[in-house]
Structures are given as C-alpha cells and as structure tokens.
Amino acid sequence: MADSLNDSKTMSGESAEGVRWWGSSPLPEGKIHCLSLGPLNLYSEKLENEWRIGLLRGTDPLESAVTTAHFSAGDLPANIPWERFAGGQLDSPLFISPALADRPVVSRPTNAYYLPSTESVTFFIGTPVWVKVMTAKGNVLKDFPVFRPSDTWFGPTTDQGQLCYASRTFCNVDLASVPYRPHRAVTSVTIKNKSPETIPIEKIKLPVGNLSLYIGPGNRIWTQDITYEIVEKERVIQLRLSDNPPALAPDSEFLSKGREPSGGNLLVQAISYFFPEM
C-alpha cells in the first residue's frame, strides 16, 4: 500500500494501462479527493478526528476511464451520499485496494459451448472488482463493488444452491481478445472433461472468495489460475487452485489473498449443479 495515487491524472481505453489506481489516497487539508474508476466516483475527505467517504455511480459498467483529482467542497455534486467514520490524525492517509466479490460469480457464456469427452479448454474470464478503503492501521472503512452485478441463484432448486453474482462472458480462449478493464480481474479457467460424455458449458461458477489477486504487466489485475476436472465415474468436479502467479503473467506481483483462502484442491458441487442441463 505504499504507492500513492497520482493527482489529476486521466487515462482512458488502452492508455489506462500502466496506471495503478490503488495505493495511498492523499487527503490535503481543505480538499476532497476524488477517484473516478470507470462508472464509480469515490470521494474522500479528512476532517479532525474523522473521515468522510461518498460514492456516486454512473450507468455504464464498461466505462474504463480513470481519473484522480482534488476538489473544494463547493465544486462537488450536491447529491453525494456521505458517510462519516471516526478516528485518525488530520494528516492520516486512506489506502485503496482492489478486492474480489464477496460471493461466487457465475459466468454464463454468450453462446452455447460444448466440451467433448477427453478434451480440455482454457477460458479467460473477467469478473468485477470490489474496492476496499482502509486506514493506515488496516481497518476497512468501506468494501464495495465498482459496479454492482446482478444477483443469480446457482443450484438445481431453491433448497440446494447458493446466491451468487451474475456475469456474462464470451468464453475467450485467446487472452488478446479480452479487453483491458481497470476494474475487472482476469482468471484463467481450465476445464478438463474426463467423463465419457460431451458436456454443455452453460454456467461457470468462479469461487472468487478463494482466489488471490496479482498485478500483471500493464497493471492488469489477475487472479491465480484455476482448473476444473470433471471426473469420469464419481460425477463430481475437482477444483484445483494454482499456488503460483498466473501462467501467462509469471512475473506478476502478488497483491492480496482471497477473502476465504483455502487449500489447493477442493471438491465442488455435483456436475448436474455445475452444468444444469446434465
């Protein structure tokens, strides 16, 4: 968290690569800091013995421009919903860090995709990023999505399953086809079909709470790689989490552990849960 956010710097599209929007947030006395991250405007102000934090969001989740600036109170929108947090010295900075969602993310391919028996495929899937606002002591003041995804239920019935977030994916098999978004994390997902059947891949559940974050070239946000193995007889899915940086970004910088760190191997839901048409 040692890096500082650059003041009054504007990036958009490809030029946004190379910018770290996380780090320490300077809060000069009498000024309000604003981080604009895609559709999100995050305002923060340090007063005596308290911080003030406010959020405004736009309507376009694909907006990717990043700006930072300082404002006087009279220059701000009147509709900012402020929250106040006690503590801190007048010169205490806040720290901003990316995080992953607080529930699993279910990614649905935009087109039908089938995986024949004994075949494997690797997708590159983007998932929405959350923002943590923390004090120098590590206390989390706010933890929120840049743009809140919609809810979805993952499971065969209302009694069997889990509330998740919904996302759409093109199931890109070429990293170059994945657009850079400063507020989305990329996960390399390999699915190996060891069953005797062709598997329709209709939904892919990503256990993002178990995934660590890395910063790769161009400051693209990555997670560790994951592999799903569909077992032939037991009709279950073995989930393996890589212990290393992403294979396609091996020099990535480790940023943070997941919300619920786990071991490298997990047994997850039955195949009929994972692929509902089975």
Distance CA 135, CA 123 (A): 37
CB 48 within 8 A of CB 91: no
Domain ranges of the chain: 10-98, 102-128+148-274
- State the chain's mean pLDDT as an integer: 85
Q: Which 3 state secondary structure label does DSSP give 176?
A: helix
User: Which tokens is 32 given?
Assistant: 């309000």
CB 65 within 8 A of CB 16: yes
Q: What is the pLDDT along the chain (278 residues), one digit of tens a residue?
A: 445 554 444 443 334 456 899 999 878 878 999 999 999 999 999 988 899 999 999 999 999 999 999 999 889 999 999 999 998 776 678 999 999 999 999 988 888 889 999 999 999 999 999 999 999 888 999 999 999 999 999 887 788 888 999 987 777 899 998 999 999 999 999 999 988 888 888 888 899 999 999 999 999 999 999 999 888 655 567 788 898 999 999 999 999 999 987 755 555 543 334 554 44
Q: Which 3 state secondary structure label does DSSP give 175?
A: helix
Instruction: Please count the residues of the chain.
Output: 278
CB 202 within 8 A of CB 171: no
Please compute, for residue 232, the number of CA atoms within 13 A of its CA located in the half-sphere on the CB side. 5
* Nearest C-alpha neighbor of 114 from the set 227, 205, 202: 202
How many other C-beta atoms lie within 10 A of the C-beta of residue 160? Answer: 11
Amino acid found at 103: R
DSSP track, 27-86: --TT-EEEEEETTEEEEEEEETTEEEEEEEE-S-TT---EEEEEE-GGGS-TT--EEEEE
